[in-house]
Amino acid sequence: MFLLADMSSLVNAPAPSSTQQPPAASQRLLSLDALRGFDMFWIVGGEEIVHALYKACPVGPLHLLDAQLQHKAWAGVAFYDLIFPLFVFLAGVSLVFSLTRAIERNGKAAALKRIFFRSLILYVLGLIQYGGLADGLDHIRWLGVLQRIAICYFFAGAIFCLFHLRGMVAICLSLLIAYWALLTFVPIPDFNLRTKHLKTLNLAPGDAQTGIAFNATTNMVSGQFDDGLNLTQQIDYRFLPGHRWDGAYDPEGILSTLPAIATCLLGVFAGLLLRNGTVPDQKKVAYLLGAGVAAVALGFLWGLQFPVIKKIWTSSYVLVAGGYSCLFLGAFYQMIEIWQWRKWSTPFVWIGMNPITIYLVFHLVPFNTVAERIVGGPVQTVLGVWGELLLALVVVAMMFALVRLLYQRKLFLRL
């Protein structure tokens, strides 16, 4: 049963310190909360504000910003493609602080038990968010956003508890290389499962005839990274039950979970750096920025052979997204922990202290309907193209009011 208590402890670190000095290694970093809140802001309304603003005022700079807040159709990366991996990365950063304290207090066995139950509850929350049993067992989305976070947290947390740094690095590299090798060298049927392609054959993803045609394909290919024609999506088609987000496969599917765990481990490495009291704060920022630039460059270089694709979470995408995550973390750490520029980040801290709460509330509560009752109808008609922007602003205002209230009352989702 859920209690409103002292912390959103699914993936977050210990409670914040009131000190205005840069926090010690054992204390909570407000920069993590602010960055997590900044990341979540775009999901819970920021994106809609930009889209509405561009519709009302379609000028060049806003066109570029609008494009960055849309997923790439397949290969490539936009800012919006970095939001999900940044959250997974930050889960890895935070677990270093929370699990270290748990191990010091109660030992590894208790920490592992804690990891298991929190991951399980977060996984169940993910099932509920996508409808749970409402449409029957055949329509459960077994793998989704929260489910992926839960699985990544579970495995990254267990690896952190059981292995030293060298072992963690070896596992991370092995996941990335193994995933690349599987998609590059394992032969697959030369049958494209993309919904648009199936329609040209008068087929649909769930049809029995699609399965017959797929299984009857004798021509085998390897090294394919096209949408609908790659090992990751074919494994989902064969083995993933229930509802699949993209018809025959899911962007949070089975095989792509492996490199997603590596994303969380990259966050663990960043967390170990931030927690290291022997490294000066300014050097920590330099290491994060340097590692970020190197990872982005290496990821795009690897992408020449293994394309940067979010929907199948390619190894090159892990490096690119992880690199940008390091850059964001370094920038936020510099501003908030070193320069002590904190006032601007307060609204993001409100969100970042309750990320799971606000994510669930946003997807389960009809904020748009409420906003339409306030500024919809005649108000929206009078404002014309600006009415949609006002609607988006009201939704975001309600979200900020909610997280501010929770923060002031010190109410945070706790298991």
Q: What string of pLDDT tens digits covers the 415 residues of the chain?
A: 333 333 333 444 333 333 334 344 446 799 999 999 999 999 999 999 999 999 999 988 899 999 999 999 999 999 999 999 999 999 999 999 999 999 999 999 999 999 999 999 999 999 999 999 998 998 999 999 999 999 999 999 999 999 999 999 999 999 999 999 999 999 999 999 999 999 999 999 999 999 999 999 999 999 999 999 999 999 999 999 999 999 999 999 999 999 999 999 999 999 999 999 999 999 999 999 999 999 999 999 999 999 999 999 999 999 999 999 999 999 999 999 999 999 999 999 999 999 988 999 988 888 889 999 999 888 888 888 899 999 999 999 999 999 999 999 988 875 5
Amino acid found at 68: Q
Three-state DSSP state, 230: coil
State how beta strands 188-189 and 3-5 pair. Answer: unpaired
SS3 labels along 22-76: CCCCCCCCHHHHHHHHHHHHHHHHHHHHHHHHHHHCCCHHHHHHHHHCCCCCCEC
Q: Helix axis angle, 257-275 relative to 83-106, nearest 10°? A: 60
pLDDT of residue 1: 34
Q: Are 98 and 7 in contact (CB under 8 A)?
A: no
d(CA 149, CA 54): 32
pLDDT of residue 152: 98
d(CA 146, CA 90): 14
Alpha helices in 194-312 (DSSP H): 195-200, 208-216, 231-239, 257-275, 281-302
Backbone angles phi and psi of 142, in degrees to 5: -70, -30
Backbone angles phi and psi of 186, in degrees to 5: -75, 125
d(CA 168, CA 156): 9
Q: Are 252 and 88 in contact (CB under 8 A)?
A: no
d(CA 380, CA 388): 7
CB burial readout 226-241, b (16+ within 10 A) else e: ebbbbbbbbbbbeebe
pLDDT of residue 27: 60
pLDDT of residue 83: 97
d(CA 156, CA 117): 14
pLDDT of residue 414: 59
For residue 280, is it left (φ>0), alpha (ψ between -120 and 50) or beta?
Answer: beta
For residue 73, the number of C-alpha atoms closer than 13 Å in the C-beta half-sphere is 4
- Look up residue 15 and give its two tokens: 């409670």
